[in-house]
Structure 1
Amino acid sequence: MGARAEQLCRPLTRRGLLAAGAGLLAAAASPAFADAITPEARKLLEAMPGKAVLGAQKTKPLVTELVDFNAPDWRRSAFDMRELLAGDAKLAYAIVQTPRVDVGSIEAARVALAVLAMQPAKFGDFYLALAATSGDIDGVKALNVVRSEGLDHYKVFRAANQPDITDILTQGVALAAALRVLDTPAYVIGADVVSGYADLARKRTLVAAAAR
């Protein structure tokens, strides 16, 4: 990485840039697991900005996943999503950024939301390319993936640090709390809320039931 790129990336590794980060992490502590979505949570989910919808674009998402890139099972869940979408051309799958593990999670979520805002058609490729990396994920790693996918990582960096991105992350925290989600990945599948990783077989069962 050149000197200019390092200079641009450096703020994403510093807590000072993410003044809202500590508040986001603290607010993310949510109540216990709930297995049915409430009307209030449904309203928040439907109004949630910054949702990435993959798969069928003209269909209301049947699955919404709450994501933290540093959650232990996020990568498994990302590749499960790929399998689900490959097997059902009518399925729409939404992704909501709800980072809570650490500051690196918030940094990477900012980058992801910037990619979505700037190049929505490229988001799916970015998302799976990030899942194909190893180790902890932070803003620098996410920007490296942005660059490897042929996107302008300078522009993404600038967009990632705009106030509207913080607003989206704050609303993601509120959604997680309304869903009573403690662990991510977490899923809303139809009317069901699943907190914590659900394997591919279970997700297929839930999707089939919700689609009836």
Structure 2
Amino acid sequence: MSGDDRNAGPSRRFLLQSAAAVLAAGLPAVARAQAVVPRPLTPEAAAKLNALPGKAVLGAPGTPPRITELVDFNAADWRRSALDMRELLAADARLAYAVVQAPRFDVRSLEAARVALAVLGKGLGPFETFYLDLAEGTGPIDGVVALAAAQRAELDRSQVFNLSIQPQHTEDLSRAAALASALGIIDTPVYVIGGQVFAGYLDLARKRALLSTAKP
């Protein structure tokens, strides 16, 4: 992050240490699947998902999500998936779509995920604006890029930065890493739909088909 951001709180070393803690959370050495083949959501993984803090549930208020996505802002398919989400929510007022920060790529992804959790703490409206703003951009996303998106969502940049480095978000991301481990995956996007886990990008048509029969 920039010098101004470093002056607002602990240094980037704090973020690097947090990255090490999150990425050392026992992830399995699973290679990316060549085809998106569903697997059952195990009771262990379901319990971790249900108890997970830091989920952003967008769409129908107070409705259990029919789809949950684990995201990394620097994964190859994240932007496509985020724009699919916008289409799905626009087409179905009864749909709730949960987003889980699960940075897997590098420290840039971790920084951005921490900013996303801080933005989420300001409300679902600012979070959705922030999330789709990043999806409409190009290039890598790190803490600086994420903070700029937060500012465009009319949030105070320094305040968001200070929130992003709070220890609670290290715990949130560690628990998301434990969920990824329970799901048996290492790369994102990952979707949980109708009691099944899909590791790899699903196109919009397939998501619509799966959601048409999925129960929360």
TM-score, scaled to structure 2: 0.89
* Correspondence for 2:64: 60
Which segments of 5 or more consecutive residues in structure 1 lack a partner in the other structure?
Answer: none
* Correspondence for 1:209: 213
In the aligned structure 2, how far is the partner of 1:110 from the partner of 1:35? 29
* Correspondence for 2:165: 161
Aligned residue runs from structure 1 range 74-85, under 5 A: 74-85=78-89
TM-score, scaled to structure 1: 0.91
* Correspondence for 2:39: 35
* Preserved contact between residue 15 and residue 103 of structure 1 (Cα < 8 Å): no
Cα 1:70–1:9 change in 2 (3 A) is farther
In the aligned structure 2, how far is the partner of 1:189 from the partner of 1:144? 32
In the aligned structure 2, how far is the partner of 1:100 from the partner of 1:13? 21
In the aligned structure 1, how far is the partner of 2:160 from the partner of 2:150? 8
Secondary structure of 2:70's partner?
strand
Identity fraction in percent: 54
- The partner residue of 1:188 within 172, 188, 192 is 192
* Preserved contact between residue 189 and residue 210 of structure 1 (Cα < 8 Å): yes
* Preserved contact between residue 13 and residue 139 of structure 1 (Cα < 8 Å): no
| 1:113 and 2:111 matched | no
Aligned residue runs from structure 1 range 16-27, under 5 A: 16-27=14-25
CA shift digits 1:10-38 (9 cap, x unpaired):
77983443312023224363364761101
One-letter code aligned to 1:29? L
* Preserved contact between residue 104 and residue 186 of structure 2 (Cα < 8 Å): no
Secondary structure of 2:40's partner?
coil
Q: Post-superposition shift, 1:96?
A: 0.4
Cα 1:12–1:107 change in 2 (3 A) is farther
* Preserved contact between residue 22 and residue 170 of structure 2 (Cα < 8 Å): no
One-letter code aligned to 2:166? Q
In the aligned structure 1, how far is the partner of 2:208 from the partner of 2:115? 30
Aligned residue runs from structure 1 range 120-199, under 5 A: 120-199=124-203
- The partner residue of 2:107 within 79, 100, 103 is 103
One-letter code aligned to 1:59? T
Which segments of 5 or more consecutive residues in structure 2 lack a partner in the other structure?
Answer: none
In the aligned structure 2, how far is the partner of 1:73 from the partner of 1:115? 22
Q: CA RMSD in A?
A: 2.0
In the aligned structure 1, how far is the partner of 2:54 from the partner of 2:214? 24
Secondary structure of 1:66's partner?
strand
Secondary structure of 2:39's partner?
coil
CA shift digits 1:101-130 (9 cap, x unpaired):
000000000000000012332111110001
Cα 1:199–1:18 change in 2 (3 A) is same
- The partner residue of 1:71 within 52, 71, 75 is 75
